[in-house]
Amino acid sequence: MSIQFERITLIGIGLIGSSLAYDIRRLGLAKEIVVSTRSAATLKRAEELKLGDRYLATSAEAVENADLVIVSVPVGASESVAKEIAPHLKAGAIVTDVGSTKASVIQQMQPHMPPHVHFIPGHPLAGTEKSGPDAGFPGLFKGRWCIFTPLPDTDEDALARLRAFWEAVGSRVDVMDPAHHDKVLAIVSHLPHIIAYNIVGTAEDLETVTESEVIKYSASGFRDFTRLAASDPTMWRDICLHNKDAILEMLARFSEDLSSLQRAIRWGEGDKIFDLFSRTRDIRRSIVEAGQDTDAADFGRHALDAKQS
């Protein structure tokens, strides 16, 4: 693979930032990788893992002369990062992010972006429940979607360069309106995580079942929820706060449907229950057919260690 950018700066070097660093290096996508993160401890760890060529404590210094800047921080930190880097960006630089919500990130970052840079918001649908620089690995983005939510009048050439970058790390790129992105992600990612956090919390609160029983017998379905519920609390707090409207809309729909299922169970409406469970089984089949998971036992978790997020 050939060099696409002279200097790529990674702001934030957790799971996503470090996975990008491995791929940029492995595929030779940049002459130089510059790393910056908020804490001295994480910066030191990034250096120990040899994730970059230079390590800088301030993002302002780190973005100097960068051709591509990738911001990989919790979505609630987007504005402060944008403010800090804006005056130091070179003309023609591409600035992108990987945040899980898009309308809010645009609202936070765009007003600070100088007119001489290309700001292209993005979201790779790839991740695991782990966080920090030790969680990253090469190939995380392979076969996964990356969604761009470009602003009107985005430069076509800059868009094509960013697309080529994500395709080089193995992603398939789609373009979407930010509000639509936030609705789609609310149902496919945010709601499942919220439900998982909630059900695991409920199990923890139960007085009639002991914690040791919950852990001992967890294989029967509960375990799959605990994997989602082990995701980073900061990241998921920020997602809840920054995709509030879409999440509340989906939760309202979910609660209505849950009440209807509850009623069907109460009244012994077997056909209704069977119909619903059959429809949902078809969705699972379509996901496997689309190559988004394997049909192996154990929800394909061992066969496919990267999950959609």
- Would you tell me which residues interact with ligand NAP (CB under 6 A)? 12-17, 37-39, 42, 72-75, 77, 80-81, 98-100, 123-124, 127, 131-132, 232, 235, 309
User: Which C-beta is closer to ligand NAP: that of 121 or that of 150?
Assistant: 121
Instruction: Show Cβ contacts of residue 123 under 8 Å, excluding neighbours closer than 6 positions.
Output: 97, 98, 99, 100, 102, 146, 147, 149, 181, 185
User: Which C-beta is closer to ligand NAP: that of 126 or that of 200?
Assistant: 126
Tokens, residue 180: 């639509």
What's the closest the beta carbon of residue 256 comes to ligand NAP, in angstroms?
Answer: 28
Measured distance CA(187)–CA(45) in Å, rounded: 35
Residues 284, 171, 33, 161, CA torsion sign? negative
User: Which C-beta is closer to ligand NAP: that of 93 or that of 105?
Assistant: 105
Listed in order, strand segments (DSSP E) in the chain are 5-11, 30-36, 54-56, 68-71, 94-97, 118-120, 122-124, 145-148, 172-175
What's the closest the beta carbon of residue 89 comes to ligand NAP, in angstroms?
Answer: 17
User: Which C-beta is closer to ligand NAP: that of 203 or that of 242?
Assistant: 242
Please state whether 42 falls in left (phi above 0), alpha (psi between -120 and 50) or beta: alpha
End-to-end CA distance of the chain: 27
User: Which C-beta is closer to ligand NAP: that of 4 or that of 59?
Assistant: 59
User: Which C-beta is closer to ligand NAP: that of 61 or that of 155?
Assistant: 61
What's the closest the beta carbon of residue 241 comes to ligand NAP, in angstroms?
Answer: 12
Distances in whole angstroms, Cα of residue 194 to Cα of each of 62, 179, 187, 200: 35, 20, 10, 10
What's the closest the beta carbon of residue 239 comes to ligand NAP, in angstroms?
Answer: 6
What's the closest the beta carbon of residue 148 comes to ligand NAP, in angstroms?
Answer: 13
Partner residues linked to 173 by β-bridges: 146
What's the closest the beta carbon of residue 190 comes to ligand NAP, in angstroms?
Answer: 10
What's the closest the beta carbon of residue 26 comes to ligand NAP, in angstroms?
Answer: 18
What's the closest the beta carbon of residue 238 comes to ligand NAP, in angstroms?
Answer: 7
Measured distance CA(123)–CA(83) in Å, rounded: 21
What's the closest the beta carbon of residue 59 comes to ligand NAP, in angstroms?
Answer: 8
User: Which C-beta is closer to ligand NAP: that of 77 or that of 240?
Assistant: 77
Among all chains, which residue has been given the structure tokens 């017998």?
A: 217
Measured distance CA(188)–CA(195) in Å, rounded: 12
User: Which C-beta is closer to ligand NAP: that of 4 or that of 96?
Assistant: 96
Measured distance CA(239)–CA(244) in Å, rounded: 8
Instruction: Show Cβ contacts of residue 7 under 8 Å, excluding neighbours closer than 6 positions.
Output: 30, 31, 32, 33, 34, 65, 66, 67, 68
Partner residues linked to 54 by β-bridges: 34
User: Which C-beta is closer to ligand NAP: that of 73 or that of 229?
Assistant: 73
- Of 233, 282, 232, the C-alpha closest to 132 is 232
